[in-house]
Amino acid sequence: MSDRLSVLKTYKLYVGGKFPRSESGRVYEVTDSRDKWLANAPLSSRKDARDAVVAARKALGAWSGATAYNRGQVLYRVAEMLEGRKSQFVHEVADAEGLSKSKAAAVVEATIDRWVWYAGWTDKIAQVVGGGNPVAGPYFNLSSPEPTGVVAVLAPQESSFLGLVSVVAPVIATGNTAVVIASEKSPLPALSLGEVLATSDVPGGVVNVLSGRTAEIAAPLAAHQDVNAIDLAGADEVLAKELEIAAADNLKRVLRPQPVDDWSATPGIDRMTAFLETKTVWHPTGSLGASGSSY
Amino acid sequence: MASAFEYAPAPESRAVVDIAPSYGLFIDGEFTEAADGRVFKTVSPASEEVLSEIAQAGEADVDRAVKAARRAFEKWSALPGAERAKYLFRIARIIQERSRELAVLETLDNGKPIKETRDADLPLVAAHFFYYAGWADKLDHAGFGANPKPLGVAGQVIPWNFPLLMLAWKIAPALATGNTVVLKPAETTPLSALFFADICRQAGLPRGVVNILPGYGDTGAALVAHPDVNKVAFTGSTAVGKQIARTVAGSRKKLTLELGGKGANIVFDDAPIDQAVEGIVTGIFFNQGQVCCAGSRLLVQESIQDELLDSLKRRLSTLRLGDPLDKNTDIGAINSEEQLTRITSLVERGEAEGAERWSPACELPSAGYWFAPTLFTNVTQAHTIARDEIFGPVLSVLTFRTPDEAVAKANNTQYGLSAGIWTEKGSRILAVANKLRAGVVWSNTFNKFDPTSPFGGYKESGFGREGGRHGLEGYLDV
């Protein structure tokens, strides 16, 4: 055992591409599964949540307007960066979830693979869920998916990294921007993910990571008039109902908590389609050869 | 404007439809009185004539209907898709056979012109049943995985603007996917839904698969809140939609909402003016403007404002308002006194806020609920008539200079249902269509509908899509 004193990290929020402390100046103790102190995480306030929404809104235009190919490249770059920091995440996930090093490594590898999976979806989802409609008339008629906008994401409480990535990646793969509330008990992998995103060509504001009390941060997000959708994965039944009622005020798209037995199972496309709109565009076509008409 | 030729009256005969003096609720394949014996009257908005007396469903009736639908669900959902399909094909065929009767009935009960019920509503109603009939045995191929399951009992609440068409939008996909239905038609237009009950009888549809519960808002609220309803589908106002979203919060009920709109119809300086004028007229005066996706905000490029407005006013002067059963009638009656009051008060507000009101010379019938086609100029984005949904034949005209400004103004609304673009430039159509936050974008056309084409809104215009493959999702456990 070396007698070197290790350098501890000050965990910070990730908002608008920057790493602020909570404006409230508050932190809370994060412990491992055996109650050993790991770090102090920022205890975000309502103001932090609102700031994150502003950042997410600001980033939406460019991110949703980027080509699907470009978004795929950026997401894949995230996976590359994650791979490089694998040992850090294995360490954090092991601490957060009380897993052995080898089990934590398996979780981190699954998480990286999950990013890669979603990176490949960006330029395919439109073909899978959109398409031409054979209307009964001389019209070009095309339905295409479009991002809903700013999505508030309550990350799963138990699966601090794989669960987190499983709910964040589908939101941004389709061109939405996200305000993410990390697992309340185990926020450190999420906060470190912010560091990865910052170095992965993901534009600032596309993903914003907050840590603190889920219920406290989620309330203003569910009621926020400039949030378009909310994923309640990390809410318990009582909180989920409360937030769904608040979300009705501007008819946010709500993804209710879904029972997930195993985050490592291949996800379907539901988490992507939950935050997509369908736009249908009509235009007359010339009708060639029909009863004397022309084009 | 004086006309060189006057039209001779061309009334469609009422003899083709036989309206009974009273109707019951349709529960478990039978017409039945309401448990508490309550009834209400439905009137013809064009004449205020009482058409029939209708049983009004209360909470006990809702419970009875949901139980009937639950009982029917087991067998209905277990039927092979090909068999369910055949019922739906039968229904579609019977609708075609009885389309004249239903068109006249709808015009009498709703007040809309016969040429619209005959040429738009009824063909679309039949087409929706045909379209979804074909899905019933192909659900494995709909993109929701193998063997997607129905949800159970669907509680459906529909509005009065397209009574039978909205019924078709709701019932056809529900039945195709194996759900059973309890549907509440609007209190001002219950008749065509009750005639549909008879069509179900003719088609031999099993008892309880479709149940019809006429009533007011409280009936709808009871249906939505019923603990044994698995899916809620609502078309109507945004305010009620929000209330429903709160009601189902925390439950496992799947919800789709088709709500209000304040559609922008954007006319660029290179647009084909004549076609654009027709599209503007269709956009806001079709069905007296009582259309959730109506193009109620005209955004016209400043440089062609005068030319376009002259042309539009000339065209409006040729619209014929009057007896909805006359085949020459373009503008029928407003659906109810309540709706007329709402339109009138919003229009007065528009005047009070300084917008300039114009209507063509137009004689309104002495009985019934009527409102002349109305156009407002000098409208700003802050005006109530540019923000609130009027749901009547009232067009607000705003101007813009650049495409960016047009997009910004079009999107400056809580709604996001529909939009129109008029320009000869293809790249501009595609660029602008891309930027509009609306579920349906009509370019160089407006108010086109088709069962194969998903319909539904962004933002506070609701969520979920009706029509097309997308329309199946709301009725499947996916």
Closest CA to B461 of B206, B238, B228, B271: B238
Beta bridge partners of B376: B357, B396
CA distance A263 to A220: 28
**Using the beta-carbon criterion (under 8 Å), do B241 and A251 form an inter-chain contact?**
yes
Mean pLDDT score, B18-38: 98
pLDDT per residue as tens digits for the range A13-59: 999 999 999 999 999 999 998 999 999 999 999 999 999 999 999 99
Instruction: Give tens-digit pLDDT for B377-403.
Output: 999 999 999 999 999 999 999 999 999
A25 touches chain B (CB under 8 A): no
For residue A268, the distance in angstroms to the closest alpha carbon of chain B comes to: 9
Q: Which of A56, A72, A70, A93 is nearest to A193 (CA)?
A: A93
Q: Touching check for B79 and chain A: CB below 8 Å?
A: no
Q: Do A135 and B257 touch (CB under 8 A)?
A: no
Residue A292: predicted pLDDT: 52
Residue A293, pLDDT > 60, answer: no
pLDDT band at A295 (very low <50, low <70, confident <90, very high): very low
Question: Within an 8 Å CB–CB cutoff, is residue B144 touching chain A?
Answer: no
Supply angle C-alpha A270, A157, A257, rounded to 5: 35
Inter-residue contact B57 to B184 (CB < 8 Å)? yes
Beta carbon pairs, A and B, within 8 Å? 104
By Cβ distance, the residue of A129, A240, A248 closest to B245 is A248
The answer to whether A284 contacts B249, with C-beta atoms less than 8 Å apart, is: no
Per-residue pLDDT at B79 exceeds 90 = yes
Token pair, residue A140, equals 């070009």
The count of other CB atoms within 10 Å of the CB of residue A292 is: 5
Mean pLDDT confidence for B190-209: 98
Cβ distance A283 to B414 less than 8 Å, yes or no, reads no
Assign B2 a pLDDT band (cuts: 50, 70, 90).
low
Q: Which residue of A has its CA nearest to B456?
A: A278
Q: Is B382 left (phi over 0), alpha (psi -120 to 50) or beta?
A: alpha
The residue-averaged pLDDT of B420-424 equals: 98
Within the 396-415 window of chain B, which residues sit less than 8 Å (CB to CB) from chain A? Answer: 414
Per-residue pLDDT tens digits for A143-176 = 999 999 999 999 999 999 999 999 999 999 999 9
Which whole number is the average pLDDT over A218-230? Answer: 98
Closest CA to B433 of A251, A282, A125: A282
What order do you get walking across the sheet with B50-55 strand by strand?
B22-23, B50-55, B39-43
Question: Which of A268, A277, A284 is facing B445, going by the closest CB pair?
Answer: A284
Tell me how far apart the alpha carbons of residues B62 and B64 are, in angstroms, rounded to a whole number. 5
Which of A252, A266, A281, A287 to mutate: most B Cβ within 10 Å? A281
Could you tell me if residue B391 is left (phi over 0), alpha (psi between -120 and 50 degrees) or otherwise beta?
left
pLDDT at B71: 98
Q: Which residues of chain B does A237 touch, with a Cβ-Cβ cutoff of 8 Å?
A: 250
List the 113-152 stretch of A: residues with Cβ below 8 A of B.
Answer: 128-129, 131, 133-137, 139, 141, 143, 148
SS3 at position B336:
coil
The Cα B300–Cα B146 span in angstroms is: 49
